[in-house]
Amino acid sequence: MFLADFHMHTNLSDGKLSMRELVDLYGKRGFGAIAITDHLCDGNLLGKASRYLNLSLSQERFPAYMAAIREEAARAWEEYEMVVLPGFELTKNSLSNHRSAHVLALGLESHVDPTMDVADIARAIRAQGGLSVAAHPVSTRKFEKQTFHLWDRREELRHAFDAWEVASGPHLFHEVMQSGLPMIASSDLHHRAQMTSWKTVLECERHPEAILDAIRRQELRFHFYRDEETVPVVPRRRAPWQFPAEPVRAPFPVA
C-alpha cells in the first residue's frame, strides 16, 4: 500500500519548485508514485500569454521537459523507490468558466495538441496508451479560475475519461463523489504548503503500467494527508504518511 499524487506543477510552468525539489519533497515523505503535470496551454490569447510569461510548456520545449522527467524518474527510483510518471495538463482557459477545461495526460511522453476539442484530446491520450483525467471539473472552493466545461458535458464525456478528480487539494467534490464516475484524488500542488491535501492510495506493484491499470480499474482508495512540516499539528506517534485502519474507498458512500 502506498500514497500517490498525480497532479503537480514545477517551475517549468506555474509551480514554485524545481522538478528535483518536487521529487525530493515526495520521495522523502515515503510516497510510492507521483506524476509531473506541468501546463500545456491552448493556442488562444490566454494560452499565448501564458507561454510568453513562461507559465506553460510549448511544443518546442516539450522534448526537453520529457527528458527532464525521465532523468528525475531514474533518480527517484534509485533513491526512494518512487515511480515518477510523465504527464502534462492540457489547459484550455477562457474568460468564461463554462468554456474552460483542464485535462491531465498521465503516463504519456508524446505531445498532444491542446487546441483540439476535449473529447478528441481524451481520445488522443488513450490512443497513445496514456490515462486521461478530468481535472478539477467543478468548483475548487477557492478564489481562482474555474473550469466547468467538462462537468457541463459530463454525460456526453462520461466514458471519454479514465478518471475525474474527486478532490483538488484539501477539498472533496461531493458532486463528483455522487456521480458514479471513475475518480482520482490529487493535490494540484504548486508550492510546499499544498502538500496537505487528499491523495490516492494504491496497493498495486510500483510499476508505471500497474499504476495506470489500477486507476483504470478503480482499485484505489483516498486518504487525507496532513503534512506536519508545512502545517503544524499536535505531535502524534504515527508517521504522517501512515494510513488509518480504514481509508476512504472509491466509490464514496453518499453523504
Domain boundaries, the chain: 2-249
* Tens of pLDDT, residues 45-67: 677 777 667 778 989 999 999 99
Q: Average pLDDT in the 97-105 region?
A: 95
**Residue 250 pLDDT:** 52
Q: How far apart are CA 57 and CA 29, in angstroms?
A: 28
pTM of the entire structure? 0.89
Q: How far apart are CA 102 and CA 136, in angstroms?
A: 8
Q: How many CB atoms lie within 10 A of CB 218?
A: 15
Q: Is 250 exposed, middle or buried (0-12, 13-18, 19+ CB in 10 A)?
A: buried
Whether the per-residue pLDDT at 78 is higher than 50: the answer is yes
pLDDT band at 229 (very low <50, low <70, confident <90, very high): confident
**Residue 54 pLDDT:** 74
Best CATH choice for the domain 2-249 from the list 3.20.20.140, 3.40.50.2000, 3.40.50.10800, 3.30.70.3340: 3.20.20.140
Residue 219 CA neighbour count, 13 Å, CB half = 12
HEC sequence for the chain: CEEEECCECCCCCCCCCCHHHHHHHHHCCCCCEEECCEEEECCCHHHHHHHHCCCCECCCCHHHHHHHHHHHHHHHHHHHCCEEECEEEEEECCCCHHHCEEEEEECCCCCCCCCCCHHHHHHHHHHCCCEEEECCCCCCCCCCCCCCHHHHCCCCCCCCCCEEEEEECCEECHHHHCCCCCEEEECCECCHHHHCEEEEEECCCCCHHHHHHHHHHCCCEEEEECCCCCCCCCCCCCCCCCCCCCCEECCCCCC
* Tens of pLDDT, residues 161-211: 999 999 988 999 999 999 999 999 999 999 999 999 999 999 999 999 999
Closest by CA position to 130, among listed 155, 157, 149, 111:
111
pLDDT band at 145 (very low <50, low <70, confident <90, very high): confident
Q: How far apart are CA 174 and CA 88, in angstroms?
A: 25
* Tens of pLDDT, residues 4-47: 999 999 999 999 999 999 999 999 999 999 999 999 988 776 77
